[in-house]
Amino acid sequence: MNVQHKYRLNKKHFILSAVIFSVIVLSGGYVYYEYEEENIRREKYSEIMAISKLKIDQLVQWKKERNSEALFFSGNYAFIQNTKTLIQTGLTNHLAHFFRTTLTPIQRTHFYENITTVRLFCI
């Protein structure tokens, strides 16, 4: 009987040890999971913030460039007059040279494939 009682006691200790070990491992796993989840969340938030700041900067730069071009074209008397002449008479060698020399630096600076001028009809 003593051997059987000792066997039961060892079996109980083994089961109790296994349960305690399992609880420790599961608790540790949970804590580690929560820690990693928070790290990943912070990392992804930082990445998204960096991308959004970059996009904001790109949009601000784009807006500045468009405003600059609008000011250039609307404030350049020679460009306005030559555009009016182009509309009235069509393209001449003089106008082609003027527009080429005026627009080519803008095209090269901003890496535009082409530049198109459009006449808007106002009613």
Same structural domain for residues 61 and 5?
yes
Same structural domain for residues 70 and 117?
no
What letter represents residue 42's amino acid? R
* 37-59 confidence digits (pLDDT tens): 999 999 999 999 999 999 999 99
* 24-37 confidence digits (pLDDT tens): 999 999 999 999 99
Same structural domain for residues 16 and 67?
yes
Same structural domain for residues 61 and 81?
no
Low-confidence residues of the chain, pLDDT below 50?
A: 1
What's the domain count of the chain?
Answer: 2
Q: Mind giving me the DSSP string for 16-77?
A: HHHHHHHHHHHHHHHHHHHHHHHHHHHHHHHHHHHHHHHHHHHHHHHHHHHHHHHHHHHH-H
Same structural domain for residues 5 and 60?
yes
Mean per-residue pLDDT of the chain? 86
Residues 96, 117: Cα–Cα separation, whole Å: 13
Residues 23, 73: Cα–Cα separation, whole Å: 74
Identify the domain containing residue 25 by its residue range. 1-75
Same structural domain for residues 64 and 99?
no
Query: How much is the pTM?
Result: 0.57
Same structural domain for residues 91 and 66?
no
